Amino acid sequence: LQRRLNDLRLTAGTERGTLQPQLNWTRNDRLGERGSYNVSLSASRQDRRDDLIQRTRITDAASGAPLLDQEETGPSLDQRDRVQLLSRLQWRHGPGEFLLLTPFIVASESRTDATRQLEQLAGTIPSPYASSQTSAHSRFSLLRLNAQEQRRVASDARIELRGALSAANWRAQSLRREFDAAQALTRTLEERTDNDDRTWTLAGKFSRPFASGHTLVAGIEAESTRREQGRATLQDGAPLLADLGDAFGAQTRRLAAYVQDEWNVSRAWSTHAGLRWEEITTRSETAGSTTTNVSRVWTPLLHAVWRLDAQRRDQIRASLTRSFRRWYVDAMY
């Protein structure tokens, strides 16, 4: 923390007669002699009003005669609210030892209402509707927490732990209604979506010098990601995509372990060599179908760096390693 700060800013504007407020707050301060924190909060609202004028013309390429001429007009209102909080908490246990927490929160909501009038000026193709009304509503939220702990377990050994938790949700629904020239309802289209994401990661690393210029580094990594998705599309109250199902789930898990020797040969040369093992498991679930796949790989590592100047800005890097990329495709027709 370089300096203490407590800053609050309020701004407001107008667009076509609607208020656009915004708030920003930032605070930096210390926690005793070893700790410090930072908090940044922002909140805003946006109202947007649009008037649409859209014209579609289709003409015959040979004669130039008009085949279709349509004009769609109407107003729309789009309202968005957003809140975001970012914080950072750091606590020092001693020289080279600390705990770092960084929570992050986002929440937003949007609403849209639109009315359209469709006028057919020319053409023999019948107009699909004379007017329409559309309303949509969506919400999004994200909560994430990152943590890092670094400790010395001996005078020359160090342990570093890193972890993260994340949860996100997105829900949306929309309803479109179409009318004929007599204002009779001819078609409705309703869509609903609900997505949930859950993720956690954990990593640990141990490092210790064991010879002149050599440092032993070993670590483990674990990660899990889970998504659950639900979707429904109704036309005139009946499912439109019933054959594809309205629920889907997918999960990915990754485990890894590695060990390597980091060797500073000289002030200009450094290299590290080691071995890494990794396993990835994927699982997907749909209506009446479950697919699971497991992939494993051993990866040798060999990297070298040659620093061309004393400031170590110009470098030449060389690597010899083995990697893999896994592709998973689930297609439905």
Q: What mean pLDDT do residues 276-280 have?
A: 93
The answer on pLDDT for 332 being more than 50 is no
- Ranges 21-35, 75-89, 238-252: which has the least confidence: 238-252
Residue 250 and residue 187: Cα distance in Å, rounded? 34
Residue 129 and residue 179: Cα distance in Å, rounded? 6
**95 or 148: which leads in pLDDT:** 148
pLDDT score, position 313: 78
Identify the CA nearest to 137 among candidates 86, 183, 79: 79
pTM of the model: 0.79
Portion of the chain with pLDDT greater than 90, in percent:
57
Portion of the chain with pLDDT greater than 70, in percent:
93
Q: How far is the first Cα of the chain from the last one, in angstroms, to the nearest whole number? A: 57
CA torsion 284-285-291-295 (nearest 10°) is: 20
Which range has the top average pLDDT, 116-130, 166-180, 317-331? 166-180
Average pLDDT, the chain: 88
Are β-strands 238-239 and 185-211 bridged in parallel, bridged antiparallel, or unpaired? Answer: unpaired
Q: pLDDT for 144-190, tens place per residue?
A: 999 999 998 877 899 999 999 999 999 999 999 999 989 999 999 99
pLDDT score, position 267: 83
**87 or 61: which leads in pLDDT:** 87
Token pair for 248: 């889907």
Q: pLDDT for 5-62, tens place per residue?
A: 899 999 998 887 888 899 999 999 988 888 999 999 999 999 988 898 999 888 888 8
pLDDT-based confidence at 330, cuts 50/70/90? very low
The kind and range of the H/E element at 34 are: none
| DSSP reduced 3-state for 242 | helix
pLDDT score, position 259: 96
Residue 94 CB coordination number (10 Å): 9
